[in-house]
Amino acid sequence: MSVPRITFVVAAAAAIVVIYLATLYLVQRSLLYPVPNRQPNLDGTSVEKVRLDVRGGSTYGLFVPARPLPAPAPLIMFSHGNAEIAGDWLLDFTEVRRWASVLLIEYPGYGGADGAPTEASIVETMHAAYDWAAKDPRVDPHKVVAYGRSLGGGPAARLAVDRKIAALILESSFTSVADFASRFLAPRFLVRDQFDNRDALKAYRGPLLLIHGSRDSIVPIAHARELAALVPGARIHEIDCDHNDCPRQWPAIRQFLASAGVLRDHER
């Protein structure tokens, strides 16, 4: 092969790589945030839709007060996975209402909310939700728990650093979105929304529970084990499931929150 032909082949290959990486940079948010085309059905429920004002418009949280506990009650703030909406989780949290109130956070662009999902906009939403809850007389501001599943572990971990929370629960979550860049043959610096849970937990020293499927094929359980090693006293609850088929672990969560001082005897 002649030198000019080799030079042409190398240049063509380099151009393909550049085009691929540029395309990946532009479309990565559509891959990270596959927004479902649906809105929550709240007809006939006792759910309160709380408006959360953020840059670019407003989003909301779905607040379900504890019953029959008197106010102020403990609160679990839940941030969902990337292909879900907050309303998907209303039935799953029915059990929780016996011992805590619930605030299901909706991301910008999801579930009919304004704006577009990015790391910055989702974290801002979490901050706005916490600030609303801390001022509401139905919520005990000293017993607010952040609970994030999958992608939702990112904003939950960030909230644990930026606000004073009583405990943190991460389910099926990851060390950092950037750690998945190699799957797409891309360098880490191209990841726009990194949700670096590893970095967040280095600064967190409160109670931490990690729930993870031992057969998780999307986020291997090694992620949970690495995160647990960053926080003294962290607990790991491993269950026999994959990523999206894990049953709710309410007994383990109640036990964890009781040990963290979030639940009193009559709330357990």
More confident residue, 240 or 184: 240
H or E stretch covering 250: helix 250-259
pLDDT at 256 over 60: yes
> What pLDDT was estimated at residue 68?
81
The percent of residues in the chain predicted with pLDDT above 70, rounded, is: 88
CB contact at 8 A, 36 and 110 = yes
> What pLDDT was estimated at residue 118?
97
Vertex 93: Cα angle to 87 and 96 (nearest 5): 150
User: Which has the minimum average pLDDT: 27-36, 124-133, 139-148, 252-261?
Assistant: 27-36
Global model pTM greater than 0.75: yes
For the segment 146-195, what is each residue's pLDDT rounded down to a tens digit?
A: 999 999 999 999 999 999 999 999 999 999 999 987 776 678 888 899 99
Q: CA 24 to CA 91: how far, in whole Å?
A: 36
More confident residue, 71 or 236: 236
Strand partners, 145: 76, 167
Q: CA 130 to CA 127: how far, in whole Å?
A: 5
With bands split at pLDDT 50, 70 and 90, how would you rate the model's confidence at 70?
confident
Distances (CA, A) of 220 to 127, 180, 182, 239, 243: 29, 11, 15, 13, 9
Pairing of strands 48-54, 139-149: unpaired
> What pLDDT was estimated at residue 8?
52
With bands split at pLDDT 50, 70 and 90, how would you rate the model's confidence at 266?
very low
Measure CA of the first residue to CA of the last residue in the chain; give whole Å. 76
CB contact at 8 A, 267 and 69 = yes
Q: Which of 64, 95, 39, 60 is nearest to 248 (CA)?
A: 95
Q: Which of 153, 254, 149, 151 is nearest to 201 (CA)?
A: 153
Q: Rg (Cα) of the chain, in Å, rounded?
A: 20
With bands split at pLDDT 50, 70 and 90, how would you rate the model's confidence at 17?
low
Strands of 208-213's sheet in order across: 48-54, 57-64, 101-105, 73-79, 139-149, 167-171, 208-213, 235-239
For the segment 208-219, what is each residue's pLDDT rounded down to a tens digit?
A: 999 999 999 999
For the segment 112-150, what is each residue's pLDDT rounded down to a tens digit?
A: 999 999 999 999 999 999 999 999 999 999 999 999 999
Q: Which of 166, 174, 130 is nearest to 253 (CA)?
A: 166
Residue type, position 152, single letter: G
For the segment 75-109, what is each residue's pLDDT rounded down to a tens digit?
A: 999 999 999 999 999 999 999 999 999 999 999 99
Q: CA 53 to CA 57: how far, in whole Å?
A: 6
More confident residue, 25 or 84: 84
CATH of 36-267, one of 3.40.50.1820, 2.40.128.20, 3.30.360.10, 3.30.70.360: 3.40.50.1820
